[in-house]
Chain A
Amino acid sequence: MNEQELIPHLFRTEYRKIVSVLCRLFGIEHIEIAEDIVSDTFLQASELWGLKGLPENPTAWLYTVSKNKTKDYLKRNTLFNQKISSEIKYLNGSTDEIEIDLSIKNIQDSQLAMMFAVCDSCISSEAQIGLSLNILCGFGVEEIASAFLTNKEVIYKRLNRAKEKLRTEKIQIEYPTKNEIQTKLENVLTTIYLLFNEGYYSSSRDTSMRKDLCFEAMRLNFLLIENQTTNLPQVNALMSLMCFHASRFDARIDGDGEIILYEDQDSNLWNQDLIEKGVYFLTQASTGNVLSKYHIEAAIAHWHTQQKDSLEKWEEILQLYNKLLVLEYSPIAALNRTFALAKANGREAAIVEAEKLNLVDNHLYHTLLGNLHMAVNPKKALEYFTKALNLAKSTADKNTIIKNISKLQKDL
């Protein structure tokens, strides 16, 4: 890796680590100071390394420089010193010199503490995802804006408002206690899963950005797995689910960034390594007596790693969707259940069930009914697809519906 590639790479991997450690040291009210110090360190690196060549150990260089900058800052800024350095010393247990601990252990603990602080329900889930990307994944405002398909100003405001809220609510960046893990873990997992879905289902054509979001979500989840206290069954179940989904990444998007439907995917492109990892984490998840929705969704995703249709496969998937819906209702699970029902119990039964769902504002509802009627009543199918087209928002969804409509029009 040359210097031009190295700095962005290190920015991606090291920025978040140093920021988390400093944030934990300073407290949430001084997030910006931590961010400024680390940004400054990287700025200096890019200037200096370009002139003098790379240091022997670039990561160690970054750690040393950011430590020194922090110490300088604390020395220079008397106000800061008076206000909080006494607290810092207390936290560290040291008397005169402030110790900035950039050991692997403290980096991991700080990132975990940061994750639990950021995923607080006092801020919206959008803001939780944004802050996670920003602080825990080292994404810039511009990158986050492009991931959310919005502009920089919106994200900038969202992040600042969220930081302000965390400050006023006095959210602590602390290693979570057993109790906090119990109350906040679900929120942390939801944020990770939303982040993953943001990448997986985004209508952005930037495929590498989408992949990045998915892998960042998996990386955050892995942080929880690496830590003994948070390495819980539902955490492994979510990891398994994301591995199974991610295994189809290369098969489900064509060269133009268009979605390829599951049935049309080339299963040779499915990543066997990720499928195996998914199976591994699902086994890890199968301890204790917790059955989370992630367990059920991972089990469904596992069935989908077998492309071949069989009655057994769809019967199992149907029963898993029944369980998932009993646990927690969601429109998408209701629609998917009905699709599985058509495969397991037949089209007629599925049409009756689909009509009961009452999701008339959802384009996927009309797409489902269109699909169910396609072979037996093309005229009715066409009506449903036309309704779906009117409701669909993303280009990918619209294209899929248009394909069905033109197929039907040819046959009529």
Chain B
Amino acid sequence: MKDFLLVFRNDFNAIPKASAEEMQATTKLWMDWIGSIAAQNKLTDRGNSLMAGGKVVHPKNVVTDGPYTEIKELIGGYSIVKVETYEEAVELAKGCPILKFGGNVEVREVKHM
């Protein structure tokens, strides 16, 4: 088994503000998706979702505020799954709810030290 990192990206500013019901429905989509991966015994770590904003540290003590002017898409969260091949990891990623909201999932194999 190999670990694959799934990174969820989206242009969060472009998403209209959701009502409480819509947010609940979105939470359900995420939980059903993560639950499906766990039910297949393919979940290593459900990971986390990230708060909006952030800081970027550059050389020479230069610190700037996120979001980052040159890219619109931000990392919204990540999970780690365990499967044999890239194809399987991609198959799991295809069910990710972020795709329904115009976002994308980057799939990367974890190199264990």
Residues of chain A having any CB pair with chain B under 8 Å: 315, 318-319, 321-323, 325-326, 329, 333-334, 337-338, 341, 345, 353, 356-358
Contact = CB atoms under 8 A, between A and B. Distances in A.
B35 A337 contact: yes
Interface in B72-107: none
B40 interface: yes
B62 to A, nearest CB: 39
Contacts of A341: 32
Contacts, number: 46
B33 to A, nearest CB: 9
A357 B35 contact: no
Interface string B36-75: 1011110100100000000000000000000000000000
A162 B27 CA distance: 48
Contact of A353 (B34, B39, B41): B39
B32 A329 contact: no
B32 A334 contact: no
A326 B46 contact: yes
Interface residues of B, number: 12
Contacts of B39: 321, 325, 329, 333-334, 337-338, 353, 356-357
Interface of B: 28, 31-32, 34-36, 38-41, 43, 46
Contacts of A326: 34-35, 38, 43, 46
29 contacts: A315-B28, A318-B32, A318-B35, A319-B28, A319-B31, A319-B35, A321-B39, A322-B31, A322-B34, A322-B35, A322-B38, A323-B31, A323-B35, A325-B35, A325-B38, A326-B35, A326-B38, A326-B43, A329-B38, A329-B39, A329-B43, A333-B39, A334-B38, A334-B40, A337-B35, A337-B39, A353-B36, A356-B40, A358-B40
B42 to A, nearest CB: 9
Contacts of A319: 28, 31, 35
A356 B40 CA distance: 7
Contacts of B34: 322, 326
Nearest to B27: A319
A361 to B, nearest CB: 14
B43 A357 contact: no
Contacts of A357: 39-40
A345 B40 contact: no
Contacts of B38: 322, 325-326, 329, 334
Contacts of A333: 39
Best-buried of B34, B38, B40 by chain A (most CB within 10 Å): B38
Contacts of B36: 353, 356
